[in-house]
Amino acid sequence: MAKIYDSITELVGETPLVHLHRYEEKENVQANILAKFEYFNPSGSVKDRAALNIIEEAEKRGDIKPGMTLIDYTSGNTGIGEATFANAKGYKFVAVIQPQVSVERSQILKALGAELLQVTDVPGFAEMLKTGLSLEGLYKVMHDFAESNGWYYLNQCADPANSEAHIKGTGPEIWEATGGKVDYVVQLVGTGGTLSGLAKFFREKNPDVKIIGAQPADISLKNPNFPDRNTIDGVLKFDGVPDDKVPQLFKIFNTKYDECFNVVAEDAYETGRKLVKEEGFFVGQSAGAALWTATQIAKRPEAKGKNIVVILADNAFKYLSTNMYR
């Protein structure tokens, strides 16, 4: 039966879940690694889900209407999704870009017609960063800046619609694809929307599902004093951090996870290179980190025969300027 779509917004979700047979064999593991390839979303990442849901929920509330200007703070992927759907729905979009992200992310945002600002363009932002980014501080400077310009702040870091996109989309897709046979779910954290949403969905479906997070090791965190170090773009530490740096969405959804892995960038990069050689899938830095984490779990004796679902957030085309594929 023919199927013609009317908008790019209709293409979000229903991404493939793939059993990585060849990769498993190469790594000599006896668990089933099932990769959710989120770069099949229309703008190329898992963040399309949150971006679209945040905009559409704001529309339902009557907070925004076409012709308005939307703004958000972004490491790239959410902003790219927001810019994409803003175009499709008749909004303008302004992105305040996180420092030190890959150049491709900024190039894509510009190509989409977004106005691209640095943190130094936002009053009070640079001063806040001197003491470390806090989510409360982020909200204040971004909200005040948006209000002063007559713009609408999408606030991906604290909008429940971010997590809800995974409660109503990603989670059910995984559950249906596996027939409910899920033992572990592995993901990294930026805003915390994916982990908080999937944790809520799977805890309600089966409390025995293990929710596994991963974060950059300290040596792989962005640091202006070490601009040339290898890092994992677009994700943050969330485990063992001060309360003001715990994702707001974790607090909103009372998120609990079972384990957190610290991932060194070089391990993430090597894992991504292995995947493309063994399976042909060309993934980004956080996807490499997520797969490395899933592989460590798969090597455990108790994981034999278990299903490990791993969220692979995006593809490698945003990272060709980095050391990952050089």
Terminal CA-to-CA distance of the chain, rounded, Å?
A: 44
Is position 304 annotated as part of the catalytic site?
no
Residues 59 and 37 in one domain: no
Q: Is the same domain home to 26 and 106?
A: no
Question: Which tokens is 225 given?
Answer: 């004093």
- Does 160 map to a domain? no
- The structural domain count of the chain equals 2
* Tens place of pLDDT per residue across the chain (326 aa): 678 999 999 999 999 999 999 999 999 999 999 999 999 999 999 999 999 999 999 999 999 999 999 999 998 899 999 999 999 999 999 999 988 788 999 999 999 999 999 999 999 988 887 777 777 889 999 999 999 999 999 999 999 999 999 999 999 999 999 999 999 999 999 999 999 999 999 999 999 999 999 999 999 998 888 888 999 988 999 999 999 889 999 999 999 999 999 999 999 999 999 999 999 999 999 999 999 999 999 999 999 999 999 999 999 999 999 999 98
- Of 124, 143, 146, 145, give the one whose Cα is nearest residue 133: 124
Q: What is the CATH number of the domain that holds 126?
A: 3.40.50.1100
- Give which of 22, 69, 12 is closest to 46, Cα–Cα: 12
Question: Containing domain of residue 100, as a range?
Answer: 47-153
Instruction: Considering the candidates 106, 286, 306, 318, report the single residue annotated as catalytic.
Output: 286
Instruction: Assess if residue 323 is contained within a domain.
Output: no
pLDDT of residue 78: 96
The residue from 36, 45, 47, 102 that is catalytic is 47
Query: Is residue 120 assigned to a domain?
Result: yes
- Shared-domain flag, residues 138 and 186: no
Residues 97 and 231 placed together within one structural domain of the fold: no
Q: What's the rounded Cα separation, in Å, for the pair 74 and 318?
A: 14
Beta bridge partners of 259: 212
Residue 278 contacts by C-beta under 8 Å, 6 or more apart in sequence? 20, 22, 23, 26
Same domain membership, residue 72 and residue 13: no
Residue 212: inside a domain, yes or no? yes
In a domain, 54, yes or no: yes
Residue 158: inside a domain: no
pLDDT of amino acid 130 = 77
Boundary (domain end) residue, out of 153, 179, 200: 153
pLDDT of residue 319: 93
- The residue type found at 135 is L
Residue 3 included in any domain:
no
Residue 97 sits in the same domain as residue 173: no
- Do 276 and 176 have their domain in common? yes
| CA 320 to chain CA centroid, nearest Å | 19
Q: Where are the beta strands (DSSP E) in 59-110?
A: 69-74, 92-97
Q: Same structural domain for residues 264 and 132?
A: no
- Domain stops at, among 121, 153, 185: 153
Token pair of 303 as six digits: 């994981």
Q: Locate 260 and state its tokens.
A: 């957190």
Do 180 and 61 belong to one domain?
Answer: no
Same domain, 14 and 58: no
- 286 is a catalytic site residue: yes
Residues 201 and 61 in one domain: no
Which residues are CB-contacts of 260 (< 8 A; sequence separation ≥ 6)?
Answer: 212, 213, 214, 215, 238, 239, 240
| DSSP labels, 304-316 | TT-EEEEEE-BBG
Question: What is the helix, strand, coil percentage profile of the chain, to 5?
Answer: 45, 15, 35
121 with 227, same domain? no
Q: Which pLDDT belongs to residue 1? A: 60
Question: Is 324 inside a domain boundary?
Answer: no
